[in-house]
Structure 1
Amino acid sequence: MAFEFARILIGPKPCNNNEKCREINNLWEKIENSKTLESTYLIFSLSYDLFREALACYQNSAYLATSIMCRDSLESAIYIMAIAKDIKCCDIGNLSICSYTHEEYRQDIIRDYGSMLSKVEGKYKIDESIKNNLKEIRSDGNFAAHLAQKIDESYKDITEFYNKHSKKAEFSKRNWITKDEAYKTLDKTVNVLIALSKIVYETNCKK
């Protein structure tokens, strides 16, 4: 299956909270100002759409959902990077990825993030800082997606902690995603998307 070039970038919806509007606009401007956004849009369009959904969640104070959507945004990027082959660059005002074909993998491999990331690492040079950010963002997304289990684990840990220490001792265990944590995840996600788009562009269009 081949995919041809198309580009429609829709920004975040208007908001009525001045602080959040400023934060959201700053994040989206990073994407718009990326020098490789237009050139790699065919590969990352779904990731940008999912990131816009993450911004909408943040705008509405749905911080758990923000983390989940950030995870999904990057997982979609890794998936497309893994399966895209025969990537073609065309001069359409600027040198851009204009088509690619879809490599078929077994369903069990496609569903496994680790296998897909390994395929990406085999095709592209991904530095440790990007991999660390990917790991942290997925960790937050998984925490939010499986909150009930995480809270249950927390109660077990609290019981074990108090059995070993004085009940006056402080126990710190995460049981939610805060606004600040959600914003940091959004910022990391933008930075990773931009970094990945640069890697894809330089690997395929600057030969």
Structure 2
Amino acid sequence: MSFTTSVPRTVALAMTGASGAQYGLRLLECLLGADVQVSLMLSRPAQVVIGMETDLSLPGRMSEIERFLTARYGAREGQLRVYDREQWTAPLASGSSPPDAMVVCPCTTATLSALATGASRSLAERAGDVVLKERRPLILVVRETPLSEVHLENMLKLSRMGAVIMPANPAFYHKPKGVDDLVDFMVSRVLDHLHVPNDLIPRWGDAQEPHE
């Protein structure tokens, strides 16, 4: 799988029940701010984690969540589409209408396993399967530690298929002042791989003092 250097017009974003909801929400905000069309898939566990880890209280129905997030992030009308776990009529479920790229953020090891085996038990898993078979970019922001042999084998398998395995491992060389800076580091790395311009963090060397 090869990445193009053009900014994607459409991105599928799946948020699963791993810890790290802040990563997915910040990524959503940045993609919408970059005028990218986003198809968002929220698992039930993801909605629970969002409620636990953030100050957001999402509505119950996907149509209501779509309106809520569109207003919250100032997206244009129709720029964001939110899909249910089993909404099989969604364009994402077919190879005739794949997104330019897909990100699972955060990604559970259960989702990792399903993608590695082609299980396709949910729309998010099917969308990932479509992206892989259509040779589109797939980025998996895995959030788990430590990693078992099963996890590592699944990562290797997916990497060999062309997926980018990007564990949620924020760095500290940009001297983060808080959690938001750590979140922005990871989101910036995802955006870089999507070729979406961003200035969320200082680049390595930009603010380094010269050695004496």
Q: TM-score, normalised by structure 2?
A: 0.26
Point out the structure with the larger helix share. 1
Q: Name which one, 1 or 2, has greater alpha-carbon Rg.
A: 1
Higher relative contact order structure (alpha carbons within 8 Å, sequence separation ≥ 6): 1
Point out the structure with the larger strand share. 2
